[in-house]
Structure 1
């Protein structure tokens, strides 16, 4: 169950960050509201997760997955351009999250 909650925390953060970009500096209140609610949901579920998953692992997965997803969303939704090194960096982040989850004994499964 903690990993499901971590997934919900990541989803909330990704939605909130995407809405934050769309809010154009909090000038569009609909997107601004989505952003605030999304971050509240994200932090709520992250706080629950931290009861069972070590903080370093939970935060690494939360931040890493969020960064990778938001970068890809930026390409498709906002037309942002990424170069080869950006894609390489995103790949390394994803690889790091996979190593933490599949190979590390520090995670709580």
Structure 2
């Protein structure tokens, strides 16, 4: 169940960050409310994962996955282009998430 909570936390964080972009500096009400609610729910579900997993591992998985997903959303939804160094860096972040998730004994497998 801990991975379900972590996935839910990532989804809410990604939705909230996407809405943050659309909030235009909190000047648009609906995206601003989605941002606030999304981050609140993201941290709630993130806190549930911390009951059984180390904080450093949880944060690394949560933030790393969120970074890669937000970069993809930025590309597809907002037309934000990435140069080669950015793509390489994001690939390294994704590689780190995969390594921690599948090979670390710290995640509670």
In which range does the TM-score fall when normalised by the shorter chain?
Answer: over 0.9
Q: How does 1:1-109 map to 2 (within 5 A)?
A: 1-109=1-109
1:12-45 deviation digits (Å, cap 9, x = unpaired): 0000000000001001110000000100110000
Between the aligned partners of 2:13 and 2:99, the Cα distance in structure 1 is 22
Between the aligned partners of 1:43 and 1:101, the Cα distance in structure 2 is 20
Between the aligned partners of 1:37 and 1:108, the Cα distance in structure 2 is 29
Between the aligned partners of 1:80 and 1:91, the Cα distance in structure 2 is 17
* Structure-1-length-normalised TM-score: 0.98
* Residue 107 (structure 1) shift: 1.1
Instruction: Please list every run of 5 or more consecutive structure 1 residues that lacks an aligned counterpart in the other structure.
Output: none
CA RMSD between the two structures: 0.6
* Structure-2-length-normalised TM-score: 0.98
How many residue pairs get aligned? The number is: 109
* Residue 49 (structure 1) shift: 0.6
Instruction: Please list every run of 5 or more consecutive structure 2 residues that lacks an aligned counterpart in the other structure.
Output: none
SS at match of 2:104: coil
